[in-house]
């Protein structure tokens, strides 16, 4: 029997389109060699064009799913995506606080890339107070970074992203990766910040088209890289590379957005291996 792969526990909502949410996490984590555990926080009704409805789960069910698997298996990394309610944030914060040595990748999902609201203002406050202080790294896009870092004194001026990052670090997370997909720049530039400022800046060719599930893919890929033992800054680079490749190989299965192909490497014809020959006469 072989050794189990590194185990990553994803707290996430179901996306019936298979583009984002727990489905994106499972595909990404498995594709990067990890065993994904999934604790479902909410169920969404959605297709590739948008979110129609959200049903958060009973918080007790969220806690029970997490406790069951945590008592059974050694988890190497936690990944948190869409949360569903303040009560769910509270129970998750409580469960993970019992495991302070497990790194946490927090994707602060506030809205879908298409603009569907996925978190209330109360949830933003709960995330800031209960989850950010426990996070190894948070992965907001620039809009999420501005909203999370918003201060009563900002009035109508939004601070520069470097200042948002400094505020988020001050709230207690160790690293902040702010992605630049939503910025009006020719390339997509992502910045990783730590206590001493920018640690790395990576720019990627902006791909045409609109994608659903890129943020979940990136955060899960970072979780997988950490579970595979990569140092954080290197893992953040590898995860961006993986995400960009999956977007470049993206496909449009329906009438809405493109989805990343998290298994792009398995479909590369030049990489395919012939099926092993068999001596079984029944099969020849
Ligand atoms: O991309 C963020 C996200 C996370 N989780 C679920 C989602 C979305 C975006 O639509 O639907 C379930």
Q: How confident is the model at residue 275 (pLDDT cuts 50, 70, 90)?
A: low
198 located within any domain:
yes
In the chain, where does DSSP find H-type helix? 21-31, 59-72, 86-97, 121-126, 142-149, 161-170, 214-227, 232-248
Instruction: Give residue 83's pLDDT.
Output: 98
Q: How confident is the model at residue 274 (pLDDT cuts 50, 70, 90)?
A: low
Express each pLDDT in 62-118 by its tens digit: 999 999 999 999 999 999 999 999 999 999 999 999 999 999 999 999 998 788 899
Percent of the chain with pLDDT over 90: 87
Instruction: Give residue 283's pLDDT.
Output: 41
Flag the least confident range among 117-121, 197-201, 219-223, 266-270.
266-270
- The verdict on the CB of residue 173 being under 6 Å from ligand 1 is no
Handedness of CA 234, 235, 237, 241 (dihedral sign): positive
268 located within any domain:
no
201 located within any domain:
yes
242 located within any domain:
yes
Position in ligand 1 atom list of the atom nearest CA 109: 2
CA-closest residue to ligand 1 atom 4: 21
Residue in 28, 43, 44, 116 to alter for ligand 1 test, most ligand atoms within 8 A of Cβ: 44
268-283 average pLDDT score: 51
96 located within any domain:
yes
- The verdict on the CB of residue 59 being under 6 Å from ligand 1 is no
List the domain range (segments joined by +) for residue 226. 7-263
223-238 average pLDDT score: 98
- The verdict on the CB of residue 81 being under 6 Å from ligand 1 is yes
281 located within any domain:
no
Express each pLDDT in 10-27 by its tens digit: 999 999 999 999 999 999
Instruction: Give residue 207's pLDDT.
Output: 96
Conformational region of residue 282, where left means phi above 0, alpha means psi within -120 to 50, and beta covers everything else? alpha
- The verdict on the CB of residue 21 being under 6 Å from ligand 1 is yes
Instruction: Give residue 281's pLDDT.
Output: 40
137 located within any domain:
yes
117-133 average pLDDT score: 96
CA-closest residue to ligand 1 atom 6: 21
Express each pLDDT in 130-166 by its tens digit: 999 999 999 999 999 999 999 877 767 789 999 999 9
Report the distance separating Cα 178 and Cα 193, nearest Å: 8
269 located within any domain:
no
Number of domains in the chain: 1
Q: What is the CATH number of the domain that holds 193?
A: 3.40.1190.20
Supply 123's token pair: 């949830």
């Amino acid at each position: 029997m072989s050794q189990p792969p590194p185990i990553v526990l994803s707290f996430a909502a179901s996306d019936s389109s298979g583009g984002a949410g727990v489905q994106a996490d499972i595909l990404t984590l498995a594709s990067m060699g990890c065993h994904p555990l999934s604790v479902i926080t909410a169920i969404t009704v959605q297709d590739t064009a948008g979110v129609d409805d959200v049903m958060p789960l009973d918080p007790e069910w969220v806690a029970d799913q997490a406790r069951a698997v945590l008592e059974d298996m050694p988890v190497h990394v936690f990944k948190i995506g869409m949360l569903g309610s303040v009560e769910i944030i509270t129970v998750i914060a409580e469960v993970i606080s019992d495991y302070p040595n497990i790194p946490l990748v927090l994707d602060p999902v506030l809205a879908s890339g298409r603009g569907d609201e996925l978190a209330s203002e109360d949830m933003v406050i709960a995330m800031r107070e209960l989850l950010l202080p426990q996070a190894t790294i948070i992965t907001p896009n620039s809009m999420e970074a501005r909203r999370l870092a918003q201060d009563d004194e900002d009035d109508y001026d939004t601070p520069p992203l470097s200042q948002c990052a400094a505020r988020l670090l001050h709230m207690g997370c160790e690293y902040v990766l702010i992605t630049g997909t939503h910025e009006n720049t020719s390339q997509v530039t992502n910045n990783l910040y730590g206590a001493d400022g920018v640690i790395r800046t990576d720019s990627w060719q902006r791909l045409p088209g609109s994608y659903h599930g890129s943020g979940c893919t990136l955060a899960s890929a970072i979780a997988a890289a950490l579970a595979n033992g990569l140092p954080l800054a290197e893992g953040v680079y590898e995860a961006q590379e993986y995400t960009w490749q999956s977007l470049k190989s993206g496909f449009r299965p329906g009438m809405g957005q493109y989805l990343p192909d998290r298994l792009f490497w398995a479909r590369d014809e030049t990489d395919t291996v012939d099926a092993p020959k068999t001596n079984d006469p029944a099969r020849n």
